[in-house]
Structure 1
Amino acid sequence: MTTIIRAEAAHDFLALVPSLAGFHPTSSLLCVAFSGNRTAGVLRYDLPRRARDRAPLAAMIVGTLCRMRGVDAVVPIVYTEARFGAGRGMPQRALLRMLTARSEEAGFLVRDALCRAADGWGSLLDPTTPATGHPLALIDESPVKRLAGGAGEVASSPTASAALPPAEPEVAARIAEALAGLTDEEEREHALRRLGEHGDPVALVESLLVRGRVQPPLRLAWFLHLASIPAVRDAMMLQIGFGASIGEAAHDDAIATAERAAANEETIDGLVVRELATGTTGEVSEMLSRLMIGQSQAHPDAGRVERALALLRTLIANAPPTHRIGPLCIAAWLSWALGRGSAAGAFIDTAVDLDPDHSMAGLLSALIGSGTLPEWAFSGR
């Protein structure tokens, strides 16, 4: 049985969606999931370019909904620059029909299936939808839109959280100068003495996450230097998400992993992939690897992740190109960990542009591009 949201309610719902999603959707398929009468999450996907891509996309969406605890209903919404007035009626009608059918076959209530086009909007499930669509003014002038505007900031797009601020030439110069001093062994020893306890990666990360603290250029440079070392980069990444204890375990494991990689004449990223595939990882390594690929119901600390992303955006903007890939990979993974797949993709695309052969960037590109979500996205808090 399908419950239809009539036009007078549907346009209010469409006015609310940007606040639910946290951004203004464009050229996207959004699925608003419900648990009873409460929204339980918003999934976003790129619109399929070919007709043959619809079925795999629908299957992936329904599979994701099945994994979301307590979800029993959904409203799919197409956002497109296509027009009702082009003569074919509602754009992406075939996609909405397929997704509605697959969702109902899986036992989900489809409350509505909507399309917001360039010149109007409509409901697949409402036979009174005009061939030219309802006016967009109904959405834009909805009182719900004004009320939702006070609920929090809405980004301009799903990738807005990956946007970098303008570079600050003076800050960039100081970071570059500090990095240059880390290339010489004697100068690096002097820098480590100046860093004191913050020469330790765990203490460094915890210091960088302190809200409102102005960070010395040397600490930022040391973080960039460490982020270019694969095992240390991954340990710092997990520490940001899951805390100092995980960071300490990850750094101890990183040393052991680096030693195994050197003994086998492998890259560290290659070693990790091989050991996961062959099931030869140790207990700690396996736990950390599963955290990295999202096979855990332990939630990252969202506050820590948000603070780190704010720092990373500024740091990437001011880092020399030679030292941007490490923090870009960290920012991509942290964004993915929060369920921001589009922002994660934007970060990793930048990393791949800088170095198409970078192993971690390639691994993250495959993970993010597959549409995989971490298991903690489906577990209750």
Structure 2
Amino acid sequence: MASRLRLRGPAELLSAMPYLMGFHPTDSLVALGLRGSGLHLQLRGDLPDDHDAAAVLAEHYGRLFRRNAMDGAMLIGYGPPERTEPFLRAVGAAMTERGIAVLDLLRTHEGRYWSLLCEVPGCCPPEGRAFDPATSIAAAEATLAGLVALPDRAAVAATFAGPSGPALEAIEEAGNRANLRVLRLVAGRDPIGVRTAAVVAGRAALDAALACYATGHRLTDDEVAWLQVLLLVVDFRDRAWERLDRDVRRANGLAEAHRELWTDLVRRCEPSSVAPSATLLSYLSWRTGNGLHASLALDRALDADPGYSAAALMAEILARGLSPRQVPPIGRSRRRTTRRVAVRAPSFARSGPRSKLCPGAVRVFGDGGPGVSGGEGGPERPGLDEGRRTR
């Protein structure tokens, strides 16, 4: 979500931050990146536990800001001085070494704030300055803009939780029916025919699902389970990813339908099968500027399947702080001979005491995401959250 907020000094900035991040930060460092006079990047990370971790993270912040061509930085530490101030200064030094102007180092704790760069007692007294977000104009403007600040990161993560209780039992039963439907779909086909049939069925299901959410409706459990099963076929997963990327880039009005669809699937899919949907939601959130939701959806994907290669690709994109402008449009690789494909069975089965193996069910394994390169190195995840992008 893009928004316009006018921030008039440190108190207004601190009052607006929970809305820009999506929750009230604690024991955190928030780094704001500026290019010209505009705020273009917001990152939040937990405060490190020791000096060595602080040094590594400080360098990481500096590299992310340099890679994203930021020319200014505002750093905010949330917590007591002994934990925040050394880290604030280390990150500030890493920015300065890379030619990034550090506009201020702010620390806030228990309703007060301090500037580590201000040495004027009348401006920044030793006891700090009090501020009240409840009376802040910036907080009121953020609320009017539709931004919400939940109590903490865990509260935001809870909005991505999967089903439990009767809802879980219902989707598991729907999953059993979807598995039987798959068996009928693939009966008598060779591996190429299986992939073709899955892609055709998946595209039809995806078209119907987007039309459903575009008109304010939602899928039934059987429709959710059908998409959940088909998304385990990498060829269809890739086509769904391409469709998502194309619709968001073209701004054809379907971005919101995609958000509703993939969010609903993450909340309703069987937990062990959520990795494809959660990865696509992570990509959509990152592509539309909500890095926090991208990170939380990615957590769901990796919790479900730590080895899921498409999730590893998203992890690299987020860890490197890549902006959507730095990633080319998603498309199928033309080098089909380099693609490693195998058919394994069973693969639609779910883990846990209720899981049942379905002989003959298939999953097509590919070599990662659909033609996207995340840059050098491996999928490191430093635990950073990116807030909502602003204009």
TM-score by length of 2: 0.64
Q: Match of 1:241, as an amino acid?
A: D
Instruction: Check the 8 A contact 2:283/2:294 in 1, yes or no.
Output: yes
Q: Select which of 140, 143, 146 maps to 1:149.
A: 143
Structure 2 counterpart SS, 1:373: coil
- 2:48, 2:97 → 1: CA distance? 21
* Residues 27 and 47, structure 2, Cα contact 8 Å, conserved in 1: yes
**CA gap 1:222/1:78 in 2 versus in 1, 3 angstroms:** same
In structure 2, the residue matched to 1:371 is: 319
Are the counterparts in 1 of residues 105 and 116 from structure 2 also a CA contact under 8 Å? yes
Q: Distance in 1 between matches of 2:168 and 2:298?
A: 22
3-state secondary structure, aligned to 2:25: coil
- Contact 2:23/2:148 (<8 A) preserved: yes
Identity %: 25
- 1:308 — aligned with what? 258
Letter in 2 for 1:376: P
Q: Take 2:220 and 2:181, find their aligned partners in 1: how far apart are those partners?
A: 21
Which whole-Å CA distance do the structure 2 matches of 1:26 and 1:302 have between them? Answer: 38
Equivalence for 2:229: 225
Matches within 5 A, 1:22-41: 22-41=22-41
- Structure with greater helix percent: 1
Distance 2:48 2:182 in 1: 55
Call closer, same or farther: CA 1:321–1:64 in 2, change over 3 Å.
Answer: closer
Secondary structure at the aligned position of 1:209 is classed as helix
Query: Is residue 196 of structure 2 the alignment partner of residue 200 of structure 1?
Result: no
Cα gap change, 1:308/1:115 in structure 2, threshold over 3 Å: closer, same or farther? same
Q: Relative to structure 1, is the Cα distance of residues 377 and 25 closer, same or farther in structure 2, using a 3 angstrom cutoff?
A: farther
Could you tell me how far apart the structure 1 residues matched to 2:322 and 2:210 are? 23
- Which amino acid in 2 is paired with 1:121? Y
2:68 aligned with 1:42:
no
How has the CA–CA distance of structure 1 residues 214 and 197 changed in structure 2, closer, same or farther, with 3 Å as cutoff?
farther
SS at match of 2:145: coil
**1:64-83, aligned counterparts within 5 Å?**
64-69=64-69, 71-80=70-79, 83=80
1:63 and 2:69 are equivalent in the alignment: no
**Who is 1:255 aligned against?**
none
Pair 1:182-2:178 in alignment:
yes
Q: How big is each residue's C-alpha offset from its partner over 1:60-114, in whole Å with a ceiling of 9 and x where there is no partner?
A: 2222222335x3211111123xx35xxx5xx411111122222223222222111
Provide the residue aligned with 2:128 in structure 1.
Answer: 133
Tell me how far 1:150 sits from its aligned partner.
1.7
SS across alignment from 1:179 = helix
Offset of residue 174 of structure 1: 5.8
Give, in angstroms, the shift of residue 203 of structure 1: 3.4
Residues 331 and 347 of structure 1 are in contact (CA less than 8 Å); yes or no, is this contact kept in structure 2? yes
Question: How do 1:1-381 and structure 2 match up within 5 A?
Answer: 9-69=9-69, 71-80=70-79, 83=80, 91-118=83-110, 120-127=112-119, 128=121, 129-135=124-130, 137-156=131-150, 157=152, 160=156, 163-164=159-160, 167=163, 175-184=171-180, 188-189=184-185, 200-210=201-211, 211=214, 212-243=216-247, 304=254, 306-338=256-288, 340-356=290-306, 358-360=307-309, 363=312, 367=316, 371-376=319-324
Q: Is contact 1:33-1:75 (8 Å) kept?
A: yes
User: Which ranges of structure 2 fall in alignment gaps of 5 or more residues?
Assistant: 1-7, 187-196, 328-388
Shift of 1:224: 0.6
1:113–1:124 CA contact under 8 A, matched in 2: yes
Deviation at 1:123, TM superposition (A): 0.9
SS in structure 2 of the partner of residue 26 of structure 1: coil
The 8 Å contact of residues 301 and 311 in structure 2, kept in 1 or not, is answered as no
Structure 1 residues 230, 345: closer, same or farther in 2, change over 3 A? same
1:143-191 CA-partner distances (Å, limit 9, x unpaired): 333333322222314562662378597876664444323333687349x
Q: Which has the higher contact order (CA 8 A, sep 6+)?
A: 2
Contact 1:19 1:152 in 2 (8 A): no
Once the 2 structures are TM-superposed, how far is the Cα of residue 17 of structure 1 from its aligned partner?
2.4
Separation in structure 2 between the aligned mates of residue 22 and residue 154 of structure 1, nearest angstrom: 6
Tell me the matched-pair count: 305
**For 1:116, what is the secondary structure of its paired residue?**
strand
Structure 1 unmatched ranges of 5 or more: 1-7, 191-195, 244-297
